[in-house]
Amino acid sequence: MRHGLVPVLAVLVFAAGPGTSCSRSQPDGPDHRAARWSTPGPAEQAVIHLPDAVDGWAASEPQRVHDRETIYDYIDGLAEVYLAYGMTRCVSRRYGRPNPPGDLVADVFELASPEDAFGVFTVDRDGEPVPIGGDALYRHGWLSFWTDRYFVSVVAQGDPGGIREPVLALGRIIAGALPGGAGRPALVGELPPRDLDPRSVRFLRHPQILNTHVFVSDGNPLGLAPDTAAALGRYERSGGRGHLLLVDYPDAGRAAAAAGRFQADVLGGAAGDGAATLGDRGAFAVRSTGRRVAAVLGATTPAFARELLAAAPAPVGGTP
CATH number, position 129: 3.40.1000
End-of-domain residue from the set 177, 207, 230? 177
Q: pLDDT above 90 covers what percent of the chain? A: 72
Report the alpha-carbon distance of residue 138 to residue 319 in Å, rounded. 41
How many angstroms separate the first and last alpha carbons of the chain?
47
Report the pLDDT value the prediction gives residue 115, as an integer from 0 to 100: 97
37 and 108 in contact (C-beta within 8 Å)?
no
Highest mean pLDDT out of 151-165, 230-244, 262-276: 230-244
What are the pLDDT digits (tens) for 91-108? 999 999 887 778 999 999
85 and 230 in contact (C-beta within 8 Å)?
no
CA-CA-CA-CA torsion sign (28, 29, 34, 36):
positive
Confidence of residue 123 (pLDDT cuts 50, 70, 90): very high
Instruction: Determine which of 8-12, 37-41, 45-49, 276-280 has the lowest per-residue pLDDT on average.
Output: 8-12
* Residue 120, domain member (yes or no): yes
Strands 53-54 and 135-139: unpaired
Q: In terms of domains, do 33 and 158 share one?
A: yes
What are the pLDDT digits (tens) for 139-195? 989 999 999 999 999 999 876 667 899 999 999 999 999 998 889 999 999 999 999
Instruction: Determine which of 72-81, 101-110, 114-123 has the lowest per-residue pLDDT on average.
Output: 72-81
Q: In terms of domains, do 171 and 201 share one?
A: no
Report the alpha-carbon distance of residue 86 to residue 90 in Å, rounded. 12
Q: In terms of domains, do 171 and 222 share one?
A: no
Report the pLDDT value the prediction gives residue 5, as an integer from 0 to 100: 54
Q: In terms of domains, do 155 and 281 share one?
A: no
Length of the chain: 320
Report the alpha-carbon distance of residue 31 to residue 206 in Å, rounded. 11
Q: What is the DSSP letter of 273?
A: T
State the residue range of the domain holding 81.
7-177
* Residue 318, domain member (yes or no): no
Q: In terms of domains, do 206 and 275 share one?
A: yes
Q: In terms of domains, do 122 and 28 share one?
A: yes
* Residue 317, domain member (yes or no): no
Q: In terms of domains, do 125 and 34 share one?
A: yes
Q: Total domain count for the chain?
A: 2
Its pTM stands at 0.86
* Residue 287, domain member (yes or no): yes
Q: In terms of domains, do 202 and 166 share one?
A: no
* Residue 240, domain member (yes or no): yes
Over residues 213-232, mean pLDDT = 96
End-of-domain residue from the set 145, 177, 209? 177
**Continuous H helices in 186-311:** 207-213, 252-265, 302-311
Strands 64-66 and 89-97: antiparallel
Q: In terms of domains, do 306 and 282 share one?
A: yes
Q: How would you classify residue 237: left for phi > 0, otherwise alpha for psi between -120 and 50, otherwise beta?
A: beta
* Residue 219, domain member (yes or no): yes
User: Which position has the higher pLDDT, 4 or 281?
Assistant: 281
* Residue 320, domain member (yes or no): no
Q: In terms of domains, do 170 and 195 share one?
A: no
**Is residue 29's pLDDT more than 80?**
no
* Residue 67, domain member (yes or no): yes
Q: In terms of domains, do 149 and 220 share one?
A: no
Q: In terms of domains, do 21 and 151 share one?
A: yes
End-of-domain residue from the set 119, 147, 177? 177
Confidence of residue 41 (pLDDT cuts 50, 70, 90): low
Report the alpha-carbon distance of residue 307 to residue 313 in Å, rounded. 12
Over residues 195-215, mean pLDDT = 96
Over residues 81-100, mean pLDDT = 93
Q: pLDDT above 70 covers what percent of the chain? A: 82
